[in-house]
A and B are shown apart, each in its own frame.
Chain A
Amino acid sequence: MTQRSLFRTFSSRDGAHVVLRGLRWGDLDDMLELHNELIEEETMIGGDKPMTRDQQVDRHAKMMKEAETGQTVCVIAEADGKLVGMTNARKRGGRLRHTAGLGVFVRRAYRDQGIGSEMMKELGIQAGKAGVEVLLLEVYSISPAVELYRRLGYTEYGRLPGIKYRDGYIDAVSIYKRVGG
């Protein structure tokens, strides 16, 4: 799985030409923008602090190494010459080495156009090729993405109550899907 891979292209629901491809070093600043936008709008992701560019350089270098060695499978969505979404599956170790933790992020202006769904379908294919059998993911119970994941074939297998979000508590829902084979 190298950063040179081009997977496929499609048109989003509003007609944007979207390219699905592997991760590149040059995505560094777009990934920083994506992360900080998600933090700013209090998206339901694990992190809650904006990153500095230096922190992002470290994080990106680590992700590039993992993408190069196959530890992480990454699908980037590019539209209008910009990175508008990314999803990755990071392989776990030992007896869980056939499983991978999944993350998926789409920039605000490009949501609800089917881009996340297409990225995740592609990631399922690429992760399967890389030897992943099970994709695991946690999603916040009140997230609109819950319905998307269900349609993509993810099944709930557990629930962790008591995640602090805004002024209250919500559940983290654990879901999985079998891929490859």
Chain B
Amino acid sequence: MRSGTLLRQFKAGDGTEVKLRTPRWEDLDDLLDFINGLVDEEAMIAVNQKHTRESETDWLARSLTNLEKDKHIAIVAEADGRVVGSCELNPRPGRMSHVASLGISVKDGYREKGIGQEMMRELEKQAPKLGLESIYLEVFSTNDRAIHVYRKMGYVETGRIPACIKYRGGYVDSVIMTKHLVV
């Protein structure tokens, strides 16, 4: 896919206008604020270190490279002129190249409005273009809100790695959830 392609527009639960599109270079500073906001609030994601502008530049260059070469799918949600959500499908290598891991996060203040679900729907719509048949994700076992959404979206628990995550002084399981796409 090309960088900056508009995929869809919709109104979120509270009426906010949201655009779903592929990321572009100009998102750099928004994406840096976004990831560092997640680190600050100790969001239940793997990343726990703030990015520098330089590391984010490397990350975005790699992401746009993979996007332009159809090696992964990346979608951002834009609202009020800012990036408020980001998600990716990263295909596994070799004999697993029909399977992709999903990563998704939504900015504080824009959650519980259905934006994440719309992003996931759009990822699933784009997935067959890369030959993907199956999507899996890992979620903190204590992230009830997210697990609820994933179940609703048709993901089922297919595995669990005990005490995989260190979070706020304790251990949390990592739950693996999978969805087979109807191709």
Residues of A within 8 A of B (CB): 3-4, 24-26, 28, 53-54, 57-58, 61-62, 64-65, 68-69
Contacts and interface: CB of A to CB of B under 8 A. Distances in A.
User: What's the interface size class on B, roughly?
Assistant: 10 to 19
B26 A4 contact: yes
B68 interface: yes
B4 interface: yes
Contacts of B24: 25-26
A68 B32 CA distance: 14
B126 interface: no
B3 interface: yes
Interface in B36-68: 54, 57-58, 61-62, 64-65, 68
Contact of A61 (B4, B26, B28, B61): B61
B64 A25 contact: yes
A85 B54 CA distance: 28
A61 B62 contact: yes
Given A61-B64, A65-B57, A68-B57, A24 B69 contact: no
Contact of A64 (B4, B54, B61, B69): B61
A3 B61 contact: no
Nearest to B3: A25
30 contacts: A3-B25, A4-B26, A24-B25, A25-B3, A25-B4, A25-B24, A25-B25, A25-B26, A25-B64, A26-B3, A26-B4, A28-B3, A28-B68, A57-B65, A57-B68, A57-B69, A58-B65, A61-B61, A61-B62, A61-B65, A62-B61, A64-B25, A64-B61, A64-B64, A65-B57, A65-B58, A68-B28, A68-B57, A69-B54, A69-B57
A53 B69 CA distance: 8
Contacts of B54: 69
A57 B68 CA distance: 7
B159 to A, nearest CB: 34
A60 to B, nearest CB: 8
A25 B27 CA distance: 11
